[in-house]
């Protein structure tokens, strides 16, 4: 799963972003260690905050799918970190601004599922993200 124009592997892995979060140098991408699995997303979730735009876009489809599959899991660090990465302000170079209209629609559809599904453990957080940036008339759009 990838968005248009996302690389075969990210310049900075989620594990590398997690190292940056710990004030360490990011290790090089390793296709075995950095294979995207549910366990990987949970273990290195904090790393998403430190990813460049290209790396963030690489992981975005994985997080979107993971959030849908784990919509009822209130203990997910991965979903918490993912939602935080969707909050403004955008970065320079832009993350949000680099998305196509179709990609934005996918993000909004997942946020809608998280915000408005009765079984979602992420209603409050997803609603905040929508209100701040992704919904029509958002505060910071």
Quick check: 3 and 53 in contact, CB under 8 A? no
Write down the pTM of the prediction: 0.92
pLDDT of residue 93: 87
pLDDT of residue 8: 81
Nearest alpha-carbon partner for 115 in 99, 135, 139 = 135
> Each residue's pLDDT tens digit in the chain (141 positions)?
456 666 688 999 999 999 999 999 999 999 999 999 999 999 999 999 999 999 999 999 999 999 999 999 999 999 999 999 999 999 888 999 989 999 999 999 999 999 999 999 999 999 999 999 999 999 988
- In the block, residue with structure tokens 């735009």: 53
Cα 111 from Cα 109, distance rounded (Å): 5
């Amino acid at each position: 799963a990838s968005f248009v124009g996302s690389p075969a592997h990210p310049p900075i892995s989620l594990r590398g972003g997690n190292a940056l979060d710990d004030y360490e140098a990011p290790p090089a991408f390793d296709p075995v260690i950095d294979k995207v699995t549910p366990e990987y997303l949970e273990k290195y979730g904090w790393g998403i905050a430190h990813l460049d735009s290209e790396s963030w876009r690489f992981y975005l489809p994985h997080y979107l799918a993971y959030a849908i599959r784990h919509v009822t899991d209130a203990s997910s660090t991965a979903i918490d970190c993912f939602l935080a990465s969707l909050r403004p302000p955008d970065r320079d170079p832009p993350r949000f601004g680099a998305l196509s209209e179709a990609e934005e629609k996918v993000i909004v559809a997942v946020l809608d599922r998280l915000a408005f599904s009765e079984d979602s453990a992420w209603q409050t957080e997803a609603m905040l993200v929508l209100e701040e940036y992704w919904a029509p008339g958002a505060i910071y759009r």
